Amino acid sequence: DLRDKLSSLTLSAFPENAANSSPSNPLSKGLEAGLRALPAELLVSLELTTASLLSSFPTSYSIYKPMLLLPSHALSSASWSKLLSCEGLYSRHLTAIWKSLAEAVGATHIAINAGIPTEARDISTITPDSNGGRNILRSPINLTPVYGDFGPRPTPTLLDTPTRTDFDAAFWVSTCQNGIHQVWAPLYTMFSRGNIREKTRLLTLPSVVGVNGDGVDLYAGIGYFAFSYKKAGFKKILCWELNPWSVEGLRRGAERNGWTTRIFKSAGVMARSGLERELEEWCGEVAKDVDFLVFQQSNESAVDLISRLAGSANLGNGKDGRGKIGRVRHVNCGLLPSSSQSWKTAVRVVDPMVGGWIHVHENVGVNDIETKEREVVSELQKYLDAWCVERGMSSATRRTVRCEHVERVKTYAPGVLHVVFDIWVD
């Protein structure tokens, strides 16, 4: 379909994932040049050959300028394991190979890819907000720097309370998908190129294109999906994100795209909320012509803040905002493996007068999609019913939810799909 064609065109234009087994593959050429420089006696002593090392090295790779990202199995073959056991990843001889690889593809840094685990396995990824070790900031844990200066390594303090100096000292990379730039620090923030299918879909989704209203992203990250909403025509996107490194990546990416941001940290927002004069001043700041309002705090605050900003024009119970933002027509719930903790919030911020959509991201077994669809609709309806009761709505005006579309975004793991449920809330 059109989305598949757009995705393939984008991937060919921006070589995030290059794969070519022919001699013209720049990675293979760079590796061959680097291997030729290895001492012959070293290879003989290990019973290795240049050919065996070359043939067992992957030909696929990703470029996130200026970083070359190798797949997780890049050095897992018997030949490379033997070489590494003798030389070490950062030895003089291996460093020469990495240098040759980087130069061949126009990179300055190299890393080996790894997944983004749900559970934090290392003290360097556990922050005061980690919920007993659960990696709620979605920070990369197993990314392995191979070549180049990646800046300070993560510590609990750097992860939770980085300073401007820390941001400036870090290593940042970027990519461009569908003409949209995204920026992140690979030691501190995740990125999945496989989400391009959903990003592309948002640019052409009829309910998104030309929408008269604003959007909300409850797990904004570096702007993974929020940027697509903006490019599709939304005037303003309200973003919630806990990871300060993701917030900084969003700011940098928005700037590169020519968009503006205003970042509100938890203390700065909540400290003002009890004083009407200061809250009015804050609302005035929000009302400025800014593309992204970014709240670096839990999305549990979204209902209160949006109701204050929207006033009676939207949620019906705001008192201070006096229409500082437009009607919320789309809410993105993009956390994996499940976004269920945001569903209650999502149904409460969708505009009650004209309705809107909630885009629910979930990891689902390939044979469980229909069951999960019914579960999502049922749970959202329960939350919506409770919200209507709290607002004093009669049963005669009961609002309902329904699933309009199920999008299979990508394979997340064997037998597991990343799925988006498009939920209409009337």
pLDDT tens figures, 277-307: 545 666 666 656 899 999 999 999 899 889 8
Length of the chain: 426
DSSP per position, 34-92 = HHHTS-HHHHHHTT--HHHHHHTS-SEEEEETTEEEE-TTTT-SHHHHHHHHHH-TTSH
Please give the average per-residue pLDDT across 194-199, as a whole number.
94
Contacts with 424 (C-beta within 8 Å, 6 or more apart), sequence order: 355, 356, 357, 401, 402, 403, 404
Domain ranges in the chain are: 2-112, 123-168, 195-425
Question: In this predicted model, what pLDDT tens digit does every residue of 89-117 receive, in sequence order?
Answer: 999 999 999 999 999 999 999 999 864 44
Domain 195-425 has CATH 3.40.50.150: yes
Q: What pLDDT is stored for residue 128 in this prediction?
A: 36
**What is d(CA 7, CA 13) in angstroms, rounded to the nearest whole number?**
10
| Partners of 425 in the β-ladder | 356, 401
Number of Cα atoms under 13 Å in the Cβ half of residue 301: 21
- Whether residue 337 is preceded by a cis peptide bond, meaning omega within 30 degrees of 0, is yes
What's the predicted TM-score (pTM) here?
Answer: 0.85
Q: What pLDDT is stored for residue 63 in this prediction?
A: 96
* 44: Cα separation from own chain's centroid: 46
Buried b (16+ CB within 10 A) or exposed e, 148-167: bebbeebeeebbbebeeebb
Question: In this predicted model, what pLDDT tens digit does every residue of 359-378 receive, in sequence order?
Answer: 999 999 999 999 999 999 99
How wide is the angle at C-alpha 346 spanned by C-alphas 340 and 351, nearest 5°?
Answer: 160
**What is d(CA 283, CA 310) in angstroms, rounded to the nearest whole number?**
10
